[in-house]
Amino acid sequence: MRDSLAAVSLLGVPYDAHSSFLRGPAGAPTAVRAALDGGSANWCTERGIDLDPVKGAAWRDLGDLDLPEEVEPALTIIREAAADAIAGGGRLVSIGGDHLVTWPLVQAMTGEHDGLTLLHFDAHPDLYDELDGDRYSHACPFARIMEEGKVARLVQFGIRTMTPHQRAQAERFGVEVHEAREGVVSMPSIDGPVYVTIDIDVLDPAFAPGMSHHEPGGWSTRQLLDALAGIARSDAVVVGADIVEINPERDINGLTAMVGAKLVKELLELVGVSSP
């Protein structure tokens, strides 16, 4: 189902000015690139797709965006860069940044694709109307996205921090929430294009200590990879993906950056890169 001819791009989105608790995820693109290119692992995905750029694998690295601290101009730059990358059928994998960056990335996606489904992996539903008076908080992007009414479905996995307010928001927006306490869930069947957004804190902090919000009771790395494999086995056409909330300042031995690098490889395959 995937179109291997579509151009696939990797983009770093180093922005964390509206993180509510700790800064740091702006450093993730640098840390994840270093892990990708660090020599300790090969460039193959788990299914053996060789993504080595030196061998001519069909994806391009757009580097990292140069973003101002001020939020509105930053969001515009992110949205426009993503729109450029996907114009004409291109696919995009992004490394954030905190979860706010998913809002402009999804805006670019809905500009190109009708009927988009978001598959969202996170400890948190990120549905606050505002947090600490900030509507741009990284705790709010899915409220902003759903208010715009341009995505068909928002399906969340791994959630384990629901508040009464966020439960009400989920109901208001018709969000399909699969909480971590429900155990393993299989991927729903989906019509139309899919965007995958991975907040690294969907994982238990034991598997990825380099995150701002250590929320116990999370998924294993294996569970997340199996969920991505489930998407790959389905008929879903994945048009874009992001990984957000890796905080290198809290990482231990580059472990979380390495998880990010592995996820980048799996996501590049998921959006359609094949071996050269």
Which chain residues interact with Mn ion by CB under 5 A? Answer: 99, 122-124, 126, 199, 201
For the CB of residue 138, give the shortest distance to Mn ion in the complex, in Å. 6
- Under DSSP, the state recorded for 37 is T
Q: How far apart are CA 14 and CA 16, in angstroms?
A: 7
Phi/psi region, residue 63 (left: phi>0; alpha: psi -120 to 50; beta: rest), is left
Looking at beta carbons only, is 71 or 237 nearer to Mn ion?
71
Looking at beta carbons only, is 12 or 25 nearer to Mn ion?
25
Q: Report the alpha-carbon angle 125-84-91, nearest 5.
A: 60
Q: How far apart are CA 142 and CA 97, in angstroms?
A: 16
Residue 251 structure tokens: 């990482």
How many C-beta atoms lie closer than 10 Å to residue 177's C-beta?
Answer: 19
Residue 23 structure tokens: 């800064």
Q: How far apart are CA 128 and CA 114, in angstroms?
A: 25
Looking at beta carbons only, is 126 or 242 nearer to Mn ion?
126
For the CB of residue 39, give the shortest distance to Mn ion in the complex, in Å. 30
Looking at beta carbons only, is 4 or 220 nearer to Mn ion?
220
Helix (H, G, I), strand (E, B) or coil at 165: helix
For the CB of residue 212, give the shortest distance to Mn ion in the complex, in Å. 8
Residue 109 structure tokens: 């996606």
For the CB of residue 18, give the shortest distance to Mn ion in the complex, in Å. 12
Looking at beta carbons only, is 199 or 269 nearer to Mn ion?
199
Q: Report the alpha-carbon angle 189-144-85, nearest 5.
A: 70
For the CB of residue 30, give the shortest distance to Mn ion in the complex, in Å. 20
Looking at beta carbons only, is 159 or 190 nearer to Mn ion?
159
For the CB of residue 231, give the shortest distance to Mn ion in the complex, in Å. 19
Residue 81 structure tokens: 């860069």
Looking at beta carbons only, is 161 or 234 nearer to Mn ion?
161
What letter represents residue 152's amino acid? A
Contacts of 24 (CB under 8 A, 6+ apart): 16, 212, 247, 248, 249, 250
For the CB of residue 197, give the shortest distance to Mn ion in the complex, in Å. 8
Q: Report the alpha-carbon angle 180-150-227, nearest 5.
A: 30
